[in-house]
Amino acid sequence: MLLAVDVGNTDITFGLFRESELITRFRVTVKVPRSSDEYGELICAILQQKGYSPEDVNEVIIASVVPKIMYSFTSGIIKYLHCHPLVVGAGIKTGIRIETANPKEIGPDRIVDAVSAYEQYGGPIIVVDFGTATTYDIVTAEGAFLGGVISPGIRISANALWNNTANLPEIEIKCPGVSIAKDTITSMQAGLFFGTIGQSEYIIRKIKEESGFLDAKVVATGGLGKIISEHTDEIQVYDSDLTLRGLQIIYDKQKK
């Protein structure tokens, strides 16, 4: 089986594939420093809780935007799963062309999302990932990755709001239902939620205008992508497994 791993700034997300079928997924935080043994034991324990043996895993692929944990993390996989992971980076076959000023600067998470969206939904397509940062990228019908936008994620904006103001509390991020709020918490929720929607709609329209692909499909992913996509007509598809599926697609391309 293939273990696909997305190492983000907030969480590490795992997906276990039997051929092309995603059979289970789980995630752990990256905020806790861990040794290679801790990573290995944690992965094995969770697999067993899910009803699978570590011996079931014979292939691993990783996309990471957190270089500082990669030595311990990959060492843990090698020691406990007994396979050397494929790490998404320069030289990996993806099936798309990176047409930016410096392709090596593009984060592997953006590449994986772009591959997944293009392979599953075709092009031209705009990919929006509502993660720690919110990214917007466009891929043409011919599979050319043209670039995109990186903006602060909704949680970064929320943390800045309550960490830099004396009287504003930490709140749950959700749709408040109204924009004219009558209390502080609802006012903050309205600002964060509707502000994110407004930003997303404007950036998507701007990308379509500049690229000329006015009919480009828009697919979203990421933790808060579901509730955002439900409140805007600019996003046609929400795919929670976009990144994991992209990793599986890329791994298959290396085998072929």
Neighbours of 41 (CB within 10 A): 15
Order of strands, edge to edge, in the sheet holding 144-152?
A: 97-98, 144-152, 133-139, 125-130, 217-221, 237-238
Could you tell me if 74 and 85 are in contact, meaning their C-beta atoms sit under 8 angstroms apart?
Answer: yes
Q: Which of 123, 49, 87 is nearest to 250 (CA)?
A: 87
Residue 41, φ and ψ in degrees, nearest 5? -65, -40
Could you tell me if 143 and 96 are in contact, meaning their C-beta atoms sit under 8 angstroms apart?
Answer: yes
Q: CA separation (Å) from 12 to 29, 127, 189?
A: 6, 20, 27
Q: CB-based burial of residue 179 (10 Å sphere; 0-12 exposed, 13-18 middle, 19+ buried)?
A: exposed
Q: Output the furthest CA–CA distance in the chain (Å, rounded).
A: 59
Catalytic pick among 6, 37, 56, 109: 109
The question of whether 109 is a catalytic residue gets the answer yes
Q: Specify which residues 5 forms β-bridges with.
A: 14, 62
Residues noted as catalytic:
109
